[in-house]
Structure 1
Amino acid sequence: MEIRDEEWLVRATEETADGLAVHVQGLGELVRDTTATFYQSLEETMTPLDPAQARVVPDDSPRYRTARLWLESTLRKTAVPLAEQSLSVATRGLADALGYQQSAVRKALDPENLRPRILLADAVGLGKTLEIGMILAELIRRGRGERILVVTPRHVLEQMQHELWTRFALPFVRLDTAGIQRVRQKLPATRNPFTYYRRAIISIDTLKSDRYVASLRKQRWDAVVIDESHNLSNADTLNNRLARLLARTTEALILASATPHNGKAESFAELIRMLDPVAVPPSGELDRDEIRRLVVRRHRHSPEVASAVGADWAERREPNNILIPASPAESAVASELENTWLWPGKGGSPYSGVRGTFFPWTLAKAFLSSPAALQETINGRIDRVTEDPAVPSDRAEVELRALRHLGSLNERALRTPSAKYARLVAYLKEIGVGASSATRAVVFAERLETLYWLHRNLPGDLGLPQGAVDLMHGGLTDSDQQDIVERFKQERSAVRVLVTGDVASEGVNLHAQCHELIHYDIPWSLIRIEQRNGRIDRYGQKHPPQITALLLDPASERFAGDVRVLAKLIEKEDEAHAALGDVASLMGRYDVKGEEEEIRAVLSGAKQLDDVVRPVAEVAAGTDVAALFAQLFDTPEQGDEPAPAPQVVPDADSLYDDEVSYLEEALREAFIDPTAPPSRGGVGWRRDEAFGTVELTPPPDLVQRLDVLPQSYLADRKVTERLVLATTTARGKDRLAAALRDDKGTSWPDAHYLSPLHPVLDWAADRALAALGRNEVFAVRGAVEAPTVLLLGTLTNRRGQVVSTAWLTTQFPISDDSSFALVTPHDSSIDALRTIGWTVPRANPGAVAATERLQPLIGPAVHQAAAYLEKTVFEAASRDAQQRVERWRRKLDAWDGQTAVLIRRSEAAASRERLDEERQLTEAMAPARQLVRPLLVVVPDTEGEHR
């Protein structure tokens, strides 16, 4: 298309409220590598180039290299149709071919759903990030992933960015603290940052602020991913406000959470409504079929998973609960807590608060963590009681006296060796942690003072340098947290022990070099225990994970009983992990604080543990949301066989044997001698087939495409100076693993895998597409009996998305009669190319002569092919698409008919607005226009010419 005197490649068109929008990429010298959107209503001239008027030009390049590159690039730039169910690129990255992950991708792309929307609710460790990457890769290949926003907790920003780039070659800018600062330096204060970056990863804590919400309201996304989405269901939170906004401004929505519900049907319904506003009837009742359609849920021992993971996910060992007799000083503290604070005699508790027994149990929990944590709790309480005028002076004095006495006992415990700490040191040495060993362990504790205490003392007692014990907690910046996780992944890093709070219990992968996890204190929550354990017990763990809990056992009989209760929590988590993959349903509170309240009631004697923690069988047989999940997803019927892994046939529609062959040909076309250094007009191209790598010096327009990646990565690996690419999956995986072993201190690989969506290939395709002038088509020779035109037909909807593609050849058997043509449809591009003898390179004896005699064939070929497609292929495709749209319309009408149950007018108005939006989407998905383009004019081989 010609706009503003420049030529543009039309990537998509879309009917909008402002008229026809045309999304383009520049082809001319001045606009090359520029993307833009033009609105027909605003442009004086927007001239579409008529394919029927295409000018025939000869290709005189060696072996028809120019035409082959142009044709291959057209293939790559043509979106896969929306209804295509086979996977085209998701299986060609560095993710292992796991059937259960591929089935999640297929479910997300189900053509029966007008929009790709799904809740990935797989249990901890199954690889939801990889499923996200596979879905996004397929959306991009289908022309549905130009603008993508990924929202995660801040401590996993880099991890998400790393996985999407290294596994699927999807470059995202990371808008953490440093990334946002870069944006502020580049953009004017009035510029919307979300118009500058097409694909970004940002933390939910940053994005939910009013400052960014205002910018988001003006944006539309092709796809939005929200990780840890269980934090969205409360309708009164900023998280929920953000999620509802994003759900309405994106076509594709991917929610991910290992704990997808909180036991309340209304909260779970809120998540489902974000995916599909009419999936939940106005009455709020959950529909099992709708949940099955929108939710994916498996766990480690689901047949589909267990049959696939094999040795790549070692089974965890039995929980290792270590009971540690308390020292005399620690037992004295326990006795004081028991007799004065927890179960006081006739005199009652000295606690002056108004919340009954809450604070005494805070003391108990701090004691079970460490003497340092207890001392901090005592000191903090003394300060508050002293400064609070609302506490009567007589009650304040009683409590202060008791606190000081408890503090004095605890100071003795601080001055004497801690039994639990001594056992931790001994255990770490037993498993091999030491200066001359590579063994690593992650130690979890709840209290910050405990973390500081461990961090100060462990290096000396283990004979390690200070840097060998790292500390991570929620008070650190997002960049600092990411750096700590990165160090722990590195094989050559000096870190041997990671001491961390529960900030690392969600989303962080710590299994690369570690299979030992120690609960220094046991959370009073099954959810928290499961989250912690999932950091090392996950897919990719080659060694059986060992979960160890250290349990301080005071001489006090009553306190000893409490310790046994906490030990049972570890065992209950292990049982639920194997049977359900979901521990939250055992207690039914679905949040950490709620579970802590229940355990506190058990410890105080108000409840029995068996009344608070339900058996697994009871959960599965119940009627609540947890039972619904167990019945729908988790519990196979007796005798069921494991689901076989689906067979995936790699995309064979290519003129080249592999990605690197295409890239090399593109470089030879674009540069006179690509092996020459840049100073002499080349890119320093080097190919080492033995090692499976290639190298080049990226030109400025390629460097620009890589600029969104971490600056530290680009600098450390010198990517913009010398780009090294792995050309086989084996080499790609090898370099990815090697990045965890080398001395660079980064998990970003030195050689990046050349997968089909890699920016370097997109760059090469854009250069090849610029080889032809405005509305030209190459004339070449092939295995045909008469002049033949190869054509590509596309059917698109009003959003510019490809509904169907068709490949045809139009042959003109009578050389002087262009009105008579034989139109032949083909099953695929390769079938069409085989027909003209173009599946392998052909010798080019010279440019086809007298191309003007071929010019009259173009118009009839286009018109007759268009007429054929309209009556056959596109008619059937359009009918099929219309039927899906009509089913969706009926669904909307049915939902509309139930809105009478909405009593409040505000609810009815909001529902009506959502329904109108859905109707507009439905109309936009209907087929709208078809286009037929000539790709090649093929004349018969002359006598004596051979391939």
Structure 2
Amino acid sequence: MTATKPDARETLAPGSVVVVRDEEWLVYATEETTDGTLVHVQGLGELVRDTNASFYTRLDHVVPLDPAKARVVADASPRHRRARLWLESTVRKTAVPLGERALSVATRGLADPLSYQQSAVHKALDPANLRPRILLADAVGLGKTLEIGMILSELVRRGRGDRILVVTPRHVLEQMQHELWTRFALPFVRLDSAGIQRVRQKLPATRNPFTYYRRAIISIDTLKSDRYVASLRRQRWDAVVIDESHNLSNVSTLNNRLARLLARNTEALVLASATPHNGKAESFAELVRLLDPSAVPADGTLDRDELRRLVVRRHRHSPEVARVVGADWAERQEPNNVLVAATPAEDAVARELEETWLWPGRGGSPYSGQNAALFPWTLAKAFLSSPAALKETIDGRLGRLGNDDRADAERRALLQLAELNAETLRRPSAKYTKLVAHLKQIGVGRGSPARAVVFAERLETLRWLHRSLPKDLGVSDDAVQIMHGGLADDEQQRIVEAFKQEQAPVRVLVTGDVASEGVNLHAQCHELIHYDIPWSLIRIEQRNGRIDRYGQKHPPRVTALLLDPSSDRFAGDVRILAKLVEKEDEAHTALGDVASLMGRFDVKGEEDAIRAVLAGTKDFDEVVRPVAAVAAADDFAAMFTQLFDAPETPPVVTATKSEQRTDPGSGLYDDDVSYLEDALGEAFIDPTAPPARGGVGWRRNAAFGTVELNPPPDLAQRLEVLPQTYLTDRRVTERLVLATTLARGKDRLAAALRDDSDSTWPDAHYLSPLHPVLDWAADRALAALGRNEVFAVRGAVNAPTVLLLGTLTNKRGQVVSSAWLTAQFPAPDSPSFALVAPHGSAREALAALGWDAVRTNPRPVADLDVLQRLIAPAVHEAEKHLLTVFAAAEQDVAQRVEQWSRRLDRWDVEADALIQRSEIKQRRTSVEQERALVLAMAPDQHLVRPLLVVVPDMEGGTQ
């Protein structure tokens, strides 16, 4: 295939410089819309330097500057500082090509380099897929949030992550925001209740908040409301992340409506869930359709190869995981099931429940409602939780009773049960007494750092424990915190963050199942207590995963307190619940998928099945299958387990030696802090001076691995999008402290959980490649050159040489391929002959120019008129050379586009036979959108830019 050469001087490709409204702008993305070409730009001139803008070519006169007419100017700065800064900034601002297999920035954050997480990122970015779409279905504790951060980091570096929306349950908003900022320097505006209030104060009521913030994190409960759905329909995103995505599969829910809307309006989509299916192939197919509507045939069947392409699933004992987590994930101890003999008063309640409610005689249950088989077990479950929970259940039922004869009979039975239960409230509860003893045994008490999380299902049980534990443990009231779904989202987040801090007073967290999904509680805690046992393996696994996860340094211990009445029947029930805890532990080790044991795949379904076992209508072994039976089963759940929990993990494609390089810079600087320091030196006469004297108070402490500065106004303005609590706690717009080494960054992040600052935000944020301060430095450096200018410098060349960068882009303005070239002119007075040489990277090209070391600059380059005549021939010769180079890239993309088109054609053929079905018509709309995307991915323009003119340095000059 022969590449078609567009007129590069008319192109609006990313990296080109344009003039709009008499200001100079750098193009970073373009897109074709129904209203014409939309050009996204960043200001270069003094008046617009900190401005991002978008212009329609139909409405504004967008004039691209002709690279062949670039003007050569001499760099007179010491050691060519201005040229080095400009080149480094250009490299940083040039997007990594879409097809690049190596990870550029994902491995340079504060996440441990775990191969299984990196393999998930490689799969998400696989060039074989036209857009990044993946379901992260790793089991609880493997670090799906870190995988999300790594994927988003790479998308940003590839120019595919400018606008990002993250959707999570509300109680993990701050946790997700914290991880993405502290580990990857990705700032997100948190739109919780307080955040939304701040937005309303800033914006007019009619303003769409999603146009104001480029990157936002919001809860799914907030976002699915009709108020925001209307705003979302008008927004396009580069990437959307939806956490706990198992809540999306029911097509009749608002969650699914929201997910379908977002899936249509984003290029990259990352779904995350440790429990991604409910055992029904059709429900799982709905999740897969969100990722790729053509991956599920029109008849709804699931294809194993498509699932392998779109889904990542591992668990704690998968070989890929087990061989790398080591001591950073201590093995769980054996379950500690503690049978607690009931008191006489509690035995009396148990007998009353048995004889009157659970297994009544001929008269039957006194329950007067419609489901006589259900309410007695609600009473039994409340009793096994706590006397307080049973009282609440009885009182609630009494308040709903009518006045007929049946209601009167039930009222009498309830009052009799209430009278017996009242006696248990007046005396010490056996299980509560054991809880207090157990907490003291593990070291919880005044002056001790030991912590524990106590789970219970009933809100009244939580309140009772919250009221009683401080006095009986001898600790202050704030040492015992309660968390439940009725609390405001910011209060839930505050409690979770406090539990992670070593110096926070909280020692016991009593919580309901609101904390069983997504919350990390292992930072200071390895003791978990089930005060009551859920009648669900899924819920038990979710609870245990709060402390049994990567990063847990101490063997986590799970203790279950089981009230053991003296009656045989109730004793049997208790042992059934104890077996649930043991089965969860067995499946956790062998399968990593406890839901497969019961085959219900949702908490309510499992509770109903266990209720049948307790009622005696089913056997336990019939409801909870052995692990071996699950592995041998022939159903969708077994297929899921076999696909993603297989002992052999497909190998990750290994990049070449040059591709494995993870440094995204040019090599002109040893590290990010040296680049930042040089940028400050160029921008300010004396960066170390205080702001009042024209500096920024720059301080570099190499021994401690930190730097400090007072952000100037333009930087402080950029920092306003950082997490609000981080800005408040650390006051970084006044004094910004940065950790400059990986070790120091990890140390300060860990120290935030140990110090007495009452904040989990580090006092020194790690200076990773995507940090906004580096982006600010790059923009300042790029503004150093005038309109369409190129620096002339000296280097280790034999004849004047022009350094050029060529980029191939598609209709979406994304860089498909890039190439670094040098054009040498042996006879500069006759520029008709140029020796064009390709280079594998910016580093290689600069090394060929002798710019792999800092060079002295004794005087500015002279004879600029001669060098000026080299620019146009260099650009033209490079364009000719790139016709061949880019032809291969175009051919590769064309083949993938063709393959994708054939996939869509096959889906259409299959759908034609089912067109009478309304859901097929809806799916066809999504497939047609996919077809339009495929066409937009084809390369359609390239740009060649001269970056540097290098003349021979007859005097040497490296230092």
| TM-score category, normalised to shorter length | over 0.9
Q: 2:946 is paired with a residue of what secondary structure? A: strand
Q: Does 1:483 align with 2:483?
A: no
**Rounded Cα–Cα distance in structure 1 between residues aligned with 2:957 and 2:909:** 70
Tell me the residue number matched to 2:446.
435
Once residues 129 and 4 of structure 1 are traced to their aligned partners in structure 2, the CA distance between those partners, rounded to angstroms, is 43
Asked if 1 retains the 8 angstrom alpha-carbon contact of 2:102 and 2:662, the reply is no
Please name the residue that 2:393 is paired with: 377
Distance in 1 separating the partners of 2:168 and 2:203: 24
1:940 aligns with 2:957: no
Cα distance in 1, alignment partners of residues 738 and 229 from structure 2 = 39
CA distances 1:383-436 after superposition (whole Å, capped 9, x unpaired): 111xx36xxx11111111110000000001111110000000000011110102
Residue in structure 2 matched with residue 894 of structure 1 by the alignment? 906
Which position in structure 2 is the counterpart of 1:549? 560
**What secondary structure does 2:297 align onto?**
coil
Counting matched residue pairs gives 938
Q: Which residue of 1 aligns with 2:372?
A: 356
2:66 corresponding residue in structure 1: 50
List aligned pairs for 1:430-579, cutoff 5 A: 430-579=441-590
Using the alignment, how far apart are the partners of 2:813 and 2:957 within structure 1? Answer: 43
Q: 1:944 to 1:183 in 2, by over 3 A?
A: closer
Equivalent of 2:893, from 870, 881, 894?
A: 881
Shift of 1:642: 10
Separation in 2, partners of 1:215, 1:857: 52
Note the 1:857-868 alignment, pairs <5 A.
Answer: 857-868=870-881
Aligned pairs for 1:774-793 (under 5 A) are: 774-793=787-806
Equivalent in the alignment of 1:810 = 823
Question: How has the CA–CA distance of structure 1 residues 720 and 426 changed in structure 2, closer, same or farther, with 3 Å as cutoff?
Answer: same
Structure-2 residue corresponding to 1:2: 19
Q: Which residue of 1 aligns with 2:7?
A: none
Offset, 1:900: 2.5
Root-mean-square deviation over aligned CA pairs: 1.3
CA distance in structure 1 between the partners assigned to 2:668 and 2:651 by the alignment: 38
Match of residue 12 from structure 2: none
The alpha carbon displacement at 1:644 in A equals: 12
Q: Measured at CA, do residues 678 and 532 of structure 1 come closer, stay the same or move farther in structure 2, by a change above 3 Å?
A: same
Counterpart amino acid of residue 782 in structure 2: L
* Alpha-carbon distance in structure 1 between the residues aligned to 2:724 and 2:894: 47
Pairs within 5 Å for 1:722-801: 722-801=735-814
* 1:171 counterpart SS class: coil
Aligned residue for 1:32?
49
* 1:161-180 correspondence runs (5 A): 161-180=177-196
Q: Following TM superposition, by how much is the alpha carbon of 1:616 offset from its aligned partner in structure 2, in angstroms?
A: 1.3
Q: CA deviation at 1:356?
A: 2.3
Within 5 Å, which residues of 2 pair with 1:298-447?
Answer: 298-385=314-401, 388=402, 393-447=404-458
Give the distance between the partners of 2:359 and 2:920, measured in 1 at CA.
54
8 Å CA contact 2:169, 2:221 repeated in 1: yes
With the length of structure 2 as denominator, give the TM-score of the two structures.
0.97
**Structure 1 SS opposite 2:293:** coil
In the alignment, does 2:171 pair up with 1:159? Answer: no
Residues 282, 901 of structure 1: 8 Å contact kept: no
Note closer, same or farther for the CA distance 1:904–1:803 as it changes in structure 2 (3 Å cut): same
> Aligned-pair distance for 1:645?
11
- Does 1:148 pair with 2:161? no
SS at match of 2:872: helix
For the pair 1:626 / 2:655, whether they are aligned, the reply is no
Gaps spanning 5+ residues in structure 1: where? none
Counterpart CA distance in 2 for 1:203 and 1:938 is: 54
Q: Report the Cα offset of residue 589 of structure 1.
A: 1.1
Deviates more, 1:576-585 or 1:710-719: 710-719
**1:943–1:841: structure 2 CA closer, same or farther, 3 Å change rule?**
closer
How many Å separate the matches in 2 of 1:424 and 1:231? Answer: 34
Q: Deviations over 1:755-809 (max 9, x none)?
A: 0000000000000000000000000000011110000000000000000000000
Deviation at 1:251, TM superposition (A): 0.0
The residue type paired with residue 891 of structure 1 is R
Alignment of 1:187 with 2:203, yes or no, is yes
Deviations 1:149-204 (A, max 9, x none): 00000000000000000000001100001100010000001111000000000000
Match of 2:930 among 918, 921, 929: 918
Please say which of residues 331-340 and 621-630 is displaced more in the overlay: 621-630
Tell me the residue number matched to 1:108: 124
Aligned counterpart for 1:230 among listed residues 246, 254, 257: 246
Give me the TM-score of the superposition, normalised by structure 1: 0.98
Show structure 2 runs of 5+ residues with no match.
Answer: 1-17
Q: Secondary structure at the match of 1:253?
A: strand
Asked whether the equivalents of residues 20 and 40 of structure 1 are also in contact (C-alpha less than 8 Å), the reply is yes
Please state how far the C-alpha of 1:946 moved relative to its aligned partner: 5.2
In 2 relative to 1, CA 869–176 (structure 1 residues): closer, same or farther, beyond 3 Å?
same
Map Cα deviations across residues 31-84 of structure 1 (whole Å, 9 max, x no partner): 1111011111111x2110000000000000000000000000000000000000
Matching residue of 1:66: 82
Change (3 A) 1:946 1:439: closer
1:836 to 849, 854, 858: 849
For the Cα contact (< 8 Å) 1:300–1:306, is it kept in 2?
Answer: yes
Further displaced range: 127-136 or 821-830: 821-830
SS of the residue 2:838 aligns to: strand
2:39 corresponding residue in structure 1: 22
| CA contact 1:304–1:642 (8 Å) conserved in 2 | no
Say if 2:595 is the partner of 1:587. Answer: no
2:691–2:697 CA contact under 8 A, matched in 1: yes
Residue 953 of structure 2 aligns with an amino acid whose one-letter code is D
Determine the C-alpha separation between the residues in 2 that align with 1:846 and 1:213. Answer: 61
Please tell me whether the aligned partners of residues 854 and 958 of structure 2 are also in contact (alpha carbons under 8 angstroms): no
Q: What do residues 615-648 of structure 1 show as CA deviations (whole Å, max 9, x unaligned)?
A: 11211222222111111111316xx999999995
How far the C-alpha of 1:849 sits from its partner, in A, is: 1.1
Shift of 1:902: 1.7
Distance 2:211 2:247 in 1: 27
Instruction: Give the deviation of 1:476 after TM superposition.
Output: 0.1
Matches of 2:585 and 2:710 in 1, distance apart? Answer: 52
Cα distance in structure 1, aligned partners of 2:434 and 2:901: 66
CA offsets 1:424-474 (integer angstroms, 9 cap, x no match):
000001111010210000000000110010001100000001110000011
CA distance in 2, matches of 1:745, 1:38: 45
SS at match of 1:52: helix
2:287 is the alignment partner of 1:271: yes
Cα distance in 1 between the residues matched to 2:452 and 2:843: 53
Question: Equivalents in 1 of 2:252, 2:917: separation in Å?
Answer: 19
Residue type of the alignment partner of 1:490 = Q
Q: Deviations over 1:215-241 (max 9, x none)?
A: 000000000000000000000000000
The 1:946–1:112 alpha-carbon spacing in structure 2 relative to 1, beyond 3 Å, is closer
State yes or no: 1:219 paired with 2:235: yes
- Pick from 110, 128, 132: which aligns with 2:148? 132
**Identical-pair percentage:** 76
